[in-house]
Structure 1
């Protein structure tokens, strides 16, 4: 199970500034080590590839990369706003983690930092003629990287902000969350039933803030439970909303210090996260279909495409009965309820049925999708899909 430290590292690496800082630092490092590489440079190259050859290229890069970066940022923001306006506002945070966009912009900024810093160092007399040859060689490599980034950016712009690109991002992230939860239905903890009772001496563990549960550090809770010789039952799983002071978990015969430490191991934020919440992506897809079915948009085709993606996600990423992990309890002192097939289906189809109840094509597709999921190898998914289908048919009747 992923630890909180590794989770924070992953979140940092998904940020745009991280790649920008990383490539900028690499650019400065390359300029710093250039004088140390001069012993490997042939003496007869100084006249052809020295200071006079490098400075004009660096000057062009310094001025050009600033303009390209500014333009690209404007395009990115406009495309993301368009996607958030046509799909769902909550997809904006997912779009900001687009690795292609981050890599391209980081390359542009890194090229700008490299060229501007090199010009400054040249004017300050930092480089000898031999070092200037090394800088010129590095500049050629930077130019090649920039050209490759431009070509990649042009190809990426053809779909950036489009509905297809947005839905594909949501589906890919949802598939990762579903697969991870399928491998560890209880996040490595023991299965907790709805009526799970710890017995006498049960103490509530209050939430430290109001918001959505984003991450449960099961490993940290296991360590606390071992030290206190207790058991902990998580009642508010990732994706659930909780008010400050309300219970997020329960433990047996623990003091306030243990309760405080256990509460700190449960991250609560203003917005939901994909990390341990497989239903979040399904909710985003359903919201996109709802907006497409609104009177102002009236685009049932997008709703049909969304239901196709939902059907594919639930069919391919719900383990069959024989493959379903039944004993993933790596942490025997922590109890946590799993995400059920009924919960996943309720996030996916009922919101679309509410908005598309008057559209025969939408309801027909939904009926066929639920009928197909009713044949899923996993009995829980099959039963939940058939029950939902019967409920929708009864409401239509």
Structure 2
């Protein structure tokens, strides 16, 4: 088995050249980092991944930003109360009509602010709950996360609660006889804070009215998915780049290696993978590390999570490798752009359901899906990752474009069997994607999906629009056949 590994194995895996570590000789001393420097870099990279994952969770929460604003409001109240002895007294001398207030008037003003703002905050929370329920039932529960990630929502809740806490803190410092004290600077700023809170509430109501529209939700999911695609798959295929034709051959060669599984320490969805940890271990141990599932898949506790070639790692290395895979209770778009595509598919299916019956929303989602699929078709879907010497070190499976295309088109096609206008939009979308692709397996997959949609339409009983869809499908297939220089073999 080791003799097999020493021989170079060249191939391509979605545009990435694969070369096994060609030699077992000791690397040059100048290429080997010192243990202290390597350990420090490893800890920094691991900490960076953990922080990035934690920030993603915090960004999706409704408690972090409001908590920060409430604490900041308390600190602002204390600071302005203390500033009364310097800045406040100077302003009283210059603008006595604005800053001088009696204790009773200050108490009434602050009490009115606290009471009214608390009522408005209650209304805001009620609106938020109703919006979440409406979005979950009308579209899909998974797009609720987009609303929770909205900075406008988080800031609105934080500002309103911050005004309430600010008024309570300042009210506590107001005293009457025998030694009256009024922090006039803090009291006048309470009025300014209330005005800002009213403006924030108006913006929040506008944001709610805009967010519940399907166009806004689809656009937000599209933007987030595009960013994730560009970060996850930074390389483009190019207009003349040859497509992968040796993936199956490389997979067969890699499958012949002796793999040692590492069980998953917990159950959950794979949210992120620290490739640096896997690559460094593979380069140091002259081995290959392979992820047992795709990012976004659910892993059962104890199921094989990682596979290490040649020899099993020691206990410390095994713990380090397993810690490079981060789990969560749900899928995320950041390192799993296919999840964003799935969200739009779910919205389209919801619009086509008998209970909702909103084909316009479905067609709007199809338009956004067309842009996402075309963007994915133009990028290299990298599964094999190499070290600094060019040797393959880690394999992280990814969803191929052909699989992503079928997972997108087939559910919508089945759900829209009684909606010819939706099926026509599907065919038009596939034609737009196919015209932008060069000859190869990806264009062949598009043509196959057009044929599948046409076959589904042909099975329908005669309904208005059926013949039109068949005609559009025939024209698209003919156009794709003419454009193809050489029709590739079925993958």
Same fold by TM-score greater than 0.5: yes
Match of 2:59 in 1: 13
Q: Among residues 86, 90, 104, which one is paired with 1:39 in the alignment?
A: 86
Q: Which one is further off, 242-251 or 44-53?
A: 44-53
Per-residue deviation at 1:232? 1.3
Match of 2:277 in 1: 220
Q: SS state of the match for residue 305, structure 2? A: strand
Q: Report whether the alignment pairs 1:239 with 2:287.
A: no
Q: Report whether the alignment pairs 1:207 with 2:256.
A: no
Q: SS state of the match for residue 272, structure 2? A: strand
Per-residue deviation at 1:199? 6.2
Kept after mapping to 2: 8 A contact 1:14/1:99: no
Per-residue deviation at 1:58? 2.0
Aligned counterparts of 1:292 and 1:394: Cα–Cα separation in 2 = 23
Per-residue deviation at 1:63? 0.6
Q: SS state of the match for residue 273, structure 1? A: coil
Match of 1:372 in 2: 432
Q: Among residues 432, 447, 467, which one is paired with 1:386 in the alignment?
A: 447
* Cα offsets for 1:292-332 (capped at 9, x unmatched): 212222222221111111112223x33747xx598995756
* Cα offsets for 1:56-75 (capped at 9, x unmatched): 33222211111111111111
Q: Report whether the alignment pairs 1:259 with 2:310.
A: no
Q: SS state of the match for residue 334, structure 1? A: strand
Aligned counterparts of 2:176 and 2:306: Cα–Cα separation in 1 = 62
Match of 1:273 in 2: 332
Aligned counterparts of 2:359 and 2:60: Cα–Cα separation in 1 = 33
Q: Which one is further off, 246-255 or 361-370?
A: 246-255
Aligned counterparts of 1:128 and 1:199: Cα–Cα separation in 2 = 86
Per-residue deviation at 1:36? 3.8
Kept after mapping to 2: 8 A contact 1:214/1:239: yes
Match of 2:345 in 1: 286
Aligned counterparts of 1:362 and 1:74: Cα–Cα separation in 2 = 36
* Cα 1:330/1:114, change in 2 over 3 Å: farther
Q: SS state of the match for residue 376, structure 2? A: coil
TM-score by length of 1: 0.86
Kept after mapping to 1: 8 A contact 2:59/2:149: no
Kept after mapping to 2: 8 A contact 1:45/1:133: no
Q: Which one is further off, 382-391 or 290-299?
A: 382-391
Match of 1:138 in 2: 189
Kept after mapping to 1: 8 A contact 2:173/2:183: no
Aligned counterparts of 2:387 and 2:85: Cα–Cα separation in 1 = 57
Listed as ranges, the gaps of 5+ residues in structure 2 are 1-44, 237-246, 459-491
Kept after mapping to 1: 8 A contact 2:131/2:212: yes
5 Å matches for 1:68-107? Answer: 68-107=120-159
* Cα 1:123/1:201, change in 2 over 3 Å: farther
* Cα 1:383/1:295, change in 2 over 3 Å: same
Aligned counterparts of 1:3 and 1:99: Cα–Cα separation in 2 = 23
Q: Among residues 175, 183, 187, which one is paired with 2:226 in the alignment?
A: 175
Per-residue deviation at 1:200? 4.9
Q: SS state of the match for residue 375, structure 1? A: helix
Q: SS state of the match for residue 174, structure 2? A: helix
Per-residue deviation at 1:92? 2.3
Q: Among residues 307, 313, 322, which one is paired with 2:366 in the alignment?
A: 307
TM-score by length of 2: 0.70
Aligned counterparts of 1:124 and 1:239: Cα–Cα separation in 2 = 62
Q: Which one is further off, 194-203 or 210-219?
A: 194-203
Kept after mapping to 2: 8 A contact 1:23/1:106: yes
* Cα 1:128/1:45, change in 2 over 3 Å: farther
Aligned counterparts of 1:124 and 1:194: Cα–Cα separation in 2 = 82
Q: Which one is further off, 49-58 or 5-14?
A: 49-58
Aligned counterparts of 1:40 and 1:102: Cα–Cα separation in 2 = 32
Per-residue deviation at 1:366? 0.5
RMSD between aligned residues: 3.1
Per-residue deviation at 1:354? 1.2
Per-residue deviation at 1:381? 4.5
Listed as ranges, the gaps of 5+ residues in structure 1 are 186-191
5 Å matches for 1:102-121? Answer: 102-121=154-173
Kept after mapping to 2: 8 A contact 1:50/1:136: no
